């Protein structure tokens, strides 16, 4: 077989890493006896499965067959069909030893006689007691392993006299030259007469032996990383490192001189120079470890080719982004997860040619392997155009295997059900083969990637295909992190996982934090976000700092929204009075700090005591005492010498137990309460309050904002009568409200804020002087009183006249050619499309009607869902599309849509929800009711794009 040396070496390194430690795990399993630790069995199972999978690709049949029979035994142990007795564990240990020996002599591995160990394994599966076969196999394995230094002794003792008789087989000449001996081994006698002579070895495996012997090291050196770390670095980069090292020495001398002379100015200059050189040196050193991901990608061409032939499928592998670079450590750890993903895509995801043809697809399937940069991370996607993952099939299999309760499964969405494929032991394969069906592949992917600080997600559509998306950090050595405080300890959260920081004022805690079952949620811009208290996860007593003494004291609140109680210093009457007080939690120190993080597709909040600082940290591996704590991804040493543990946000998310049905109920109750409180006088909107001048207050709809940046005024550039800043390697054009509206000029100052948003797929910014607050408010805006370019309405908010900003209107007034415009239809009235707008707010009803009519549509309106049904019945032939609000009296948008879908006359109409409720829960309820699209009512461009799609489709 013609094998690529580099690919074989990579496989051997991975295989030895998988096999390392299996002996200790098997001994732990034996010690447990009938009390089987499934997690331990799974670890052994994953290692053997990965070794066997690669062996099949390279034609190493003996390794594949032995691994397959070991899996059969381990599978019975994992399913508790078999108790791991000492005899059974002895056979597994002997088999693991044989695998290691075959990797030591890979060129001759296929010539080894494995009839006895395989017979012993098969006898176990058949329910027999393979004592004799097991004893013989163990004796051979122990004798051979006794000639080399090992980490631990075999389980079943063998007579020492057998050791000289059963050493290694005679080595053929090419292998002998390449072999690196750890200790002298007699080769005069062979344990098996059937061992092949040297001349029978085919000439092509000789290079394999050379490759395999290169990484061979003593057993004690195999812990953690079996690969011999070697890197090729360009001379240019080495010259740069030498130059920086020289600069570092010079700066050190300057610093020493400045300190000895007491020259503060010179010390500051040297310190700044030291900081600059350190950053450059860090960047250069990190770049030496970077390797193109193509090193891993290229091996899958052969993998897909061989598997497609084996399975009788036609598959075209497309590879993109081979030049994208990652840290060598991540590259090495990425190979195994990607192997599982590609194998699953070929075996499970892509259908047979006959099935594809019957489904109207081309017979040749496409498997896409892609890498690219996004938001400071590397994204790797494995996508196929196969049959997709059926959520109902996943649900049935999870129920059958007892992985989840039926009530939990019934509450899950299709996307959540698909993610169950990452559970250990899950598989939808109908039978067990050499390729799949044992339920270990996706579990391995999730486990390995999490250990590297990565996140894996899956999206799938039945009949269309599946995409696995992996997010990875560029390097594991130095990462930017947010430092948070809990009691007197500090923790680091990688910034790639941090979305935003939220501080909830004390007076708002009871309103914004609520309980759902055993979990707590936080209201954030109209969305319910699950939160976890870091102190509870770490089993630490919550504390607070006393305002008077500054001491840390225990917090007796059971929940975040409870009032703090004191039992010292008050008589019973005073204590009772304080207990029933309306809300005593008003001090600044009682505010709640939340870090909003993203773990795959799950967004949640972590409650901490303090938000300290952002800094780049050096990642240190955990000591063995902490490796069992999955919530830690590592540790770092800070500038003061203290240690900060690095939190794994994916593992932290496992502490969230959110009842989906209760979430819907709570959100519905919240909406009803807000509607009752406001007298249904207006929509609940998420707004950002800002100031441009010194006195006027403006409100910007939060869902339309991409992000907010704080800038220094001296960064502003002026050219072609436009104001801009250098932003993300490009120019961001800035506008101010006084550019287009009759309002106060923007206030002077050294700093300003830029509200970034999109117009016609172009990022632009609105510059304001200060940010006041964010809030959810139910209020009716006046459309006429202060209407002008860039201002669409006004309302009284917090006893102040507040102007509602029309972001698109600002750009449209300043740069008319930049905005998205619909083609105004000049045809006769009977050929124009008609849209029914169902909206209770007179402001938004008038706003949408005028906007749509200006864009060339005829518009009918209704004040609520009940009136909307009447308009549909009266104008059935004229109406082409329905736009509806969600929050309405009499009949809300959800009820209105359900009524339409239940009526044969109306069910064919496209329904677009145009609302201010932008949370994921709201969208899920809308889609469940039958809404086709869910849009923000003030997003003019998105509304026009959506109308274009549906009107064109109807035509």
Least confident stretch, 280-289, 561-570, 936-945:
561-570
Residue 476, pLDDT score:
65
pLDDT per residue as tens digits for the range 873-914? 999 888 999 999 888 888 888 899 999 989 989 988 999 998
Q: What is the pLDDT of residue 451?
A: 73
Q: Supply 767's token pair.
A: 């510059």
What mean pLDDT comes out for the span 371-390?
Answer: 84
Instruction: Output 667 or 58, whichever has higher pLDDT.
Output: 58
DSSP, collapsed to helix, strand or coil, labels residue 323 as coil
Share of the chain above pLDDT 90, in %: 12
Residue 626's contacts (CB-CB under 8 Å, 6 or more residues apart) are 632, 635
pLDDT > 80? residue 741: yes
pLDDT band (50, 70, 90) for residue 197: very low
pLDDT band, very low/low/confident/very high, at 589 (cuts 50, 70, 90): low
pLDDT of residue 95: 87
Q: Record the tokens describing residue 226, joined without a space.
A: 């079996």
- CB within 8 Å of 479: residues ≥ 6 apart: 453, 473, 494, 495, 496, 616, 617, 619
- pLDDT for position 168: 35
Q: How confident is the model at residue 611 (pLDDT cuts 50, 70, 90)?
A: confident
Q: Alpha carbon 938 to chain centroid distance?
A: 31
**Gap between the Cα atoms of 81 and 75, Å rounded:** 9
Give the span between the Cα atoms of 579 and 817, in whole angstroms: 62
Q: Please, what is the Cα angle at 414 between 410 and 417, to 5 degrees? A: 70
| CA atoms lying within 13 Å on the CB side of residue 9 | 15
pLDDT single digits (tens) 130-182: 544 334 444 444 434 333 333 333 333 333 333 333 333 333 333 333 333 33
Q: Which of 291, 297, 339, 299 is nearest to 322 (CA)?
A: 297
Residue 744: pLDDT band with limits 50, 70, 90: very high
CB 330 within 8 A of CB 452: yes
Q: Which residues pair with 553 in a beta bridge?
A: 544
State the pLDDT at residue 161: 33
The tens digit of pLDDT for each residue in 412-463 reads 778 878 888 887 767 655 554 555 544 445 777 777 787 777 778 888 888 8
Mean pLDDT along residues 509-521: 73
Q: How confident is the model at residue 610 (pLDDT cuts 50, 70, 90)?
A: confident
User: Does the pLDDT at position 192 exceed 50?
Assistant: no
In tens, the pLDDT along 817-862 reads 887 654 444 444 456 889 999 998 888 888 888 888 888 889 999 9
* Residues 921-940, mean pLDDT to the nearest whole number: 78
**Given the DSSP bridges, would you call strands 717-719 and 834-838 parallel, antiparallel or unpaired?**
unpaired
To which residue do tokens 């993998």 refer? 303
Handedness of CA 373, 645, 18, 229 (dihedral sign): positive
- The answer to whether 352 touches 315, Cβ cutoff 8 Å, is no
Strand pairing class (602-608; 527-533): parallel
In this prediction, what percent of the chain has a pLDDT beyond 70? 74
pTM of the predicted model as reported, rounded to 2 decimal places: 0.44
Pairing between β-strand 730-735 and β-strand 610-618 as defined by DSSP bridges? unpaired
H, E, C per residue of 163-205: CHHHCCCCCCHHHHHHCCCCCCCCCCCCCCCCCCCHHHCCCCC
CB count within 10 Å of CB 910 equals: 19
> For 495-638, where are the E strands, in sequence order?
498-504, 513-516, 519-524, 527-533, 543-545, 552-554, 592-599, 602-608, 610-618, 632-637
- Cα–Cα dist 845/862, whole Å: 9
pLDDT of residue 767: 94
Cα gap 800→180, rounded to integer Å: 83
Q: Which residue has the higher pLDDT, 486 or 182?
A: 486
Which of 326, 554, 338, 295 lies closest to 441, judged by CA?
A: 338
What is d(CA 137, CA 610) in angstroms, rounded to the nearest whole number?
A: 60
Summary mean pLDDT of the chain: 75
492 phi and psi angles, rounded to 5 deg: -115, 135
């Amino acid at each position: 077989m013609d094998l690529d040396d580099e690919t074989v070496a990579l496989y051997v390194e991975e295989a030895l890493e998988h096999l390392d430690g299996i002996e200790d795990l098997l001994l732990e399993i034996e010690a447990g006896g009938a009390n089987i630790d499934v997690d331990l069995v799974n670890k052994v199972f994953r290692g053997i499965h990965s070794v066997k999978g690669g062996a099949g690709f390279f034609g190493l049949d003996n390794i594949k067959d032995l691994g397959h029979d070991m899996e059969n035994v381990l599978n019975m142990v994992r399913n508790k069909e078999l108790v791991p007795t000492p005899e059974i564990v002895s056979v597994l240990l002997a088999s693991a030893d044989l695998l290691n020996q075959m990797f030591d002599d890979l060129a001759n591995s296929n010539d080894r006689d494995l009839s006895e160990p395989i017979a012993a394994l098969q006898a176990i599966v058949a329910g027999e007691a393979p004592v004799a076969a097991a004893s013989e196999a163990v004796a051979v394995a122990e004798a051979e392993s006794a000639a080399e230094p090992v980490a631990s002794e075999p389980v079943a003792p063998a007579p020492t006299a057998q050791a000289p008789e059963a050493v290694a087989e005679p080595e053929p000449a090419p292998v002998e030259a390449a072999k690196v001996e750890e200790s002298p081994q007699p080769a005069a006698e062979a344990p098996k007469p059937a061992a092949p002579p040297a001349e029978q070895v085919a000439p092509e495996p000789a290079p394999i032996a050379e490759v395999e012997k290169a990484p061979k090291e003593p057993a004690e050196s195999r812990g953690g990383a079996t690969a011999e770390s070697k890197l090729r670095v360009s001379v240019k980069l080495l010259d740069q490192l030498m130059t920086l090292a020289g600069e570092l020495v010079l700066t050190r001398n300057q610093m020493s001189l400045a300190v000895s002379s007491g020259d503060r100015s010179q010390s500051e200059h040297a310190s700044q120079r030291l900081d600059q050189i350190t950053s450059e040196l860090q960047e250069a050193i990190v770049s030496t470890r970077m390797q193109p991901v193509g090193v891993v990608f290229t091996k899958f061409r052969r993998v897909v080719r061989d598997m497609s032939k084996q399975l009788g499928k036609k598959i075209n592998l497309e590879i993109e982004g081979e030049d994208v670079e990652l840290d060598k450590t991540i590259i090495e750890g990425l190979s195994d997860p990607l192997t599982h993903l590609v194998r699953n895509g070929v075996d499970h995801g892509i259908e047979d040619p006959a099935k594809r043809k019957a489904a109207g697809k081309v017979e040749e399937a496409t498997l896409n392997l892609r890498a690219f940069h996004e938001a400071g991370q590397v994204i790797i996607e494995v996508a196929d155009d196969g049959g997709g993952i059926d959520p109902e099939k996943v649900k049935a299999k999870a129920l059958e295997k007892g992985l989840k309760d039926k009530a939990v499964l019934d509450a899950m969405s299709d996307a959540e059900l698909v993610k169950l494929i990452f559970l250990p032991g899950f598989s939808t394969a109908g039978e067990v083969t050499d390729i799949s069906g044992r339920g270990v592949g996706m579990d391995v992917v999730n486990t390995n990637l999490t250990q590297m600080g990565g996140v894996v997600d899956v999206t799938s559509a039945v009949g269309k295909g599946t995409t696995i998306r992996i997010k990875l950090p560029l390097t594991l050595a130095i990462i930017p992190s947010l430092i948070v405080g809990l009691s007197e300890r500090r923790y680091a959260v990688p910034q790639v996982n941090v979305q935003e920081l939220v501080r909830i004022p004390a007076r708002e805690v009871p309103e914004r934090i609520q309980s759902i079952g055993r979990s707590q949620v936080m209201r954030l811009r109209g969305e319910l976000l699950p939160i976890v208290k870091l102190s509870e996860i770490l089993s630490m007593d919550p504390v607070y700092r006393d305002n008077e003494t500054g001491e840390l004291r225990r917090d007796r609140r059971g929940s975040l929204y409870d009032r703090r109680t004191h039992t010292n210093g008050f008589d019973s009457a005073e204590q009772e009075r304080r207990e029933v007080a309306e809300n005593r939690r008003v001090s600044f120190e009682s505010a709640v700090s939340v870090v909003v993080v993203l773990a795959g597709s799950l967004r949640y909040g972590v409650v901490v005591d303090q938000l300290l600082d952002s800094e780049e940290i050096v990642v240190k591996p955990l000591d063995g005492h902490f490796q069992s704590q999955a919530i830690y991804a590592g540790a770092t040493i800070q500038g003061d010498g203290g240690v900060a543990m690095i939190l794994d946000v994916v593992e932290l998310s496992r502490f969230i137990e959110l009842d989906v049905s209760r979430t819907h109920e709570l959100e519905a109750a919240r909406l009803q309460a807000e509607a009752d409180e406001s007298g249904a006088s207006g929509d609940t909107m998420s707004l950002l309050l800002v100031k441009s001048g010194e006195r006027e207050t403006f409100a910007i709809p939060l869902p339309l904002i991409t992000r907010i940046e704080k800038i220094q005024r001296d960064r502003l550039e002026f050219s072609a009568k436009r104001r801009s800043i250098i932003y993300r390697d490009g120019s961001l054009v800035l506008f101010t409200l006084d550019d287009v509206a009759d309002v106060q000029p923007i206030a002077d100052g050294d700093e300003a804020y830029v509200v970034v948003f999109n117009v016609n797929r172009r990022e632009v910014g609105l510059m304001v002087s200060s940010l006041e607050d964010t809030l959810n408010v139910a209020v009716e805006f006046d459309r006429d009183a202060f209407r002008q370019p860039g201002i669409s309405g006004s309302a009284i908010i917090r006893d102040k006249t507040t102007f509602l900003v029309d972001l698109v209107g600002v750009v449209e007034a300043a740069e008319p050619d930049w905005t998205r415009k619909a083609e105004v239809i000049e045809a006769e009235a009977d050929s124009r499309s008609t849209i029914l707008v169902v909206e209770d707010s007179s402001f938004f009803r008038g706003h949408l009607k005028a906007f749509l009519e200006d864009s060339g549509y005829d518009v009918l309106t209704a004040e609520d869902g009940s009136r909307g049904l009447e308009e549909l019945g009266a104008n059935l032939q004229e109406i082409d599309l329905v736009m509806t609000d969600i929050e309405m009296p009499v009949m809300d948008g959800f009820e209105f849509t359900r009524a339409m879908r239940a009526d044969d006359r109306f069910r064919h109409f496209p329904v677009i929800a145009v609302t201010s409720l932008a949370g994921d829960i709201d969208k899920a309820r809308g889609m469940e009711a039958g809404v086709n699209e869910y849009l923000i009512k003030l997003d003019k461009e998105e509304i026009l794009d959506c109308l274009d799609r549906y009107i064109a489709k109807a035509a």
